[in-house]
Structure 1
Amino acid sequence: MKKRSRIVSLGVLALTLTMMSTCLMGSTMARYVTEVTGSATAAVAAWSFKADSKDSVGETFTEINLGDTTHRQAYDSGDIADDVIAPGTKGSFNIVIDGSGSEVGIDYAVKIAAGKDVILPDDLVFSTEAITAEKPGEKLADFSIPESTIDYSDTSDNMKKTITVNWEWAFEGSNAVSSNDNTYAGKKWALDITITGKQTTPETTAATP
C-alpha cells in the first residue's frame, strides 16, 4: 500500500514539475511587439541645357553666316556685296546658352574651330572683347572662350548666358603680291562650334551653429 502511495506521489510531483516548466517556458516567450512602417521619397533634379546663335533657343543650332547683316557690319554696296566677308570687314555673332528649367548649376565650355580642310588667314582674328589696337584679338587656332558656370536659380533669365564673339579681317593696304589674301578668294569656310554643358559638382555647406 505504501509502495503504491509513493508511485502516486511521484506521478503527481512529475505532473506538477511539468506544468511549472510549461508555465516558465510560456512566460519567457511572451513579449511586446510593435512594427512601425514609413517611406522615403526623393525628387530628382531636372536637367535642361540648350544653345543657339539667337535669343530664341530651339532644339537645333541655327547656322551663323558671318557675311549677313546680322553678323557683319554694314558697308557701302559699291565696296562689297552682301553675304560675304573680305579683308577690311568685321562683325560679331552671339552664342546663347540656356539652362532654364534645370534645377542644378551648369558648367559650360564653348569651342570654335576651323572645319575640315579649312585654312583661315592669319589676319582673321577673334575675341570676346572689342578688337582694338591694344587688344588685337587672336587667330582662331589660338582663340578660346574661358569655361564658366551658370549658378542654379529659380529665375529662368538668370540661367541664360550670351557670349558675344567679335571677328575682324584686317585690311593691310599693301599692294605687294607676297602679302595678299588672294588665295582665300571665292572660298567658303565652315567653322565648327561645340557647346558642352555639365552639371556643377555639388559642394557641401558648413552647418549653421
Structure 2
Amino acid sequence: MKKKVYAARLGVTALALTLVTTCLMGSTLARYVTEVTGSASATVAKWSFKASEAEGSTNFTDIDLGRTAYDSSTIKADVIAPGTSGSFDIVIDGTGSEVGIDYEIELKAAADTTFPDDMVFSTEAITGDNSGKKFIEFIAVPVKNSIDYSDNLNAMKKTVTIYWAWAFDENDTKDNNDNDYAGKNWKIDITVTGKQAAPKPTPASAS
C-alpha cells in the first residue's frame, strides 16, 4: 500500500516539475512582435520632344532660304542669288517633358546639292565681326545645347536661328563666277535629336 502512495506522490511531483519547466521555458520565448507593412512608389517622368521650322508648325518641309524680301526690281521674290542673305529658324519644343533635354541639330546637303564657296552659314548674325563659315565647315560640328527642366509656360522652348549669306563680288568675270549654280534647287536635310539630360544629384548639405 505504501509503495502505491509513494508511486502516486512521485507521479504528482514529476507532473509538477514538468509544468514548472514548461512555464519557465515558455517565459524565455515571450516577446512583443509588431509587423508593419508599406510600399514604395515612383512616378516615371514624362518625355516630350518636338522640332519644327516655326511656332505651330510640325515639320521642316516648308523652310525656304528665299523668303527674305529684296527689291523686286533687282531680284524675283522667293529666290536667292549672289548678294542675298537671310535666315531660318528651328524651333525645339520640350513642353510637357518632366526631364531636361540635350538636343543636337545636324545639317547635311542633300544629294546633288553643292553650295558656292562664297556662301556662308552661322548660328549668329553674319556681320563684319562674324564672317560665317562655308557650309562644309559649318556642318562639321553639330549644333548642340541643352534645355533645363522647368514647369513654367514656354520655358522648355528654344529657337535656333541659322543665318546664311551669299557674297556679291563686283569683280567676278566670265571665268570666275557663280553661273554654275543658276537655276539649281538646293536642299538641306535637317535632323534634330533630343535626349534626356543626365540627372544631377542634389549637392550634400553642409554639416
Fold equivalence (TM over 0.5) = yes
Q: Which residue of 2 aligns with 1:25?
A: 25
Q: Which residue of 2 aligns with 1:93?
A: 88
Whether the 8 Å CA contact 1:112–1:140 is kept in 2: the answer is no
**Aligned equivalents of 2:57, 2:160: Cα separation in 1:** 14
1:156 alignment partner, SS class: coil
Please give the root-mean-square deviation of Cα atoms over the aligned residues, in Å.
2.2
Choose which of 164, 175, 186 in structure 1 pairs with 2:183: 186
| Structure 1 position 57, deviation (Å) | 4.5
The unaligned stretches of length 5 or more in structure 2 are: none
**Residue deviations 1:62-105 (CA, integer Å, cap 9, x gap):** 431112x3xx2x22323322222121211111111112222222
| Structure 1 position 162, deviation (Å) | 1.3
Choose which of 172, 179, 182 in structure 1 pairs with 2:169: 172
1:157 alignment partner, SS class: coil
Q: Which residue of 2 aligns with 1:12?
A: 12
More off after superposition, 44-53 vs 138-147:
138-147
Q: Which residue of 2 aligns with 1:206?
A: 204
Whether the 8 Å CA contact 2:65–2:88 is kept in 1: the answer is yes
More off after superposition, 84-93 vs 167-176:
167-176
Give matches, 1:112-123, under 5 Å.
Answer: 112-123=107-118
Equivalent residue letter for 1:135: N
Equivalent residue letter for 1:66: L
Q: Which residue of 2 aligns with 1:127?
A: 122
**Aligned equivalents of 2:76, 2:83: Cα separation in 1:** 13
Equivalent residue letter for 2:180: T
**Aligned equivalents of 1:65, 1:47: Cα separation in 2:** 30
2:65 alignment partner, SS class: coil
Whether the 8 Å CA contact 1:54–1:96 is kept in 2: the answer is yes
Choose which of 120, 137, 140 in structure 1 pairs with 2:135: 140
Give matches, 1:31-70, under 5 Å.
Answer: 31-58=31-58, 60-67=59-66, 69=67
Q: How many residues align?
A: 204
Kindly tell me: are residues 115 and 32 of structure 1, through their superposed partners in 2, closer, same or farther at Cα, counting changes over 3 Å?
same
TM-score normalised by L of structure 1: 0.85
Identity of aligned residues (%): 57
Whether the 8 Å CA contact 1:54–1:62 is kept in 2: the answer is no
Q: Which runs of structure 1 show a deviation greater than 4 angstroms over 4 or more consecutive aligned residues?
A: none
1:77 alignment partner, SS class: coil
The unaligned stretches of length 5 or more in structure 1 are: none
**Residue deviations 1:26-66 (CA, integer Å, cap 9, x gap):** 333433221222233323222221111112253x3443111
Whether the 8 Å CA contact 2:106–2:143 is kept in 1: the answer is no
1:12 alignment partner, SS class: helix
Whether the 8 Å CA contact 1:107–1:199 is kept in 2: the answer is yes
| Structure 1 position 187, deviation (Å) | 1.8
TM-score normalised by L of structure 2: 0.86
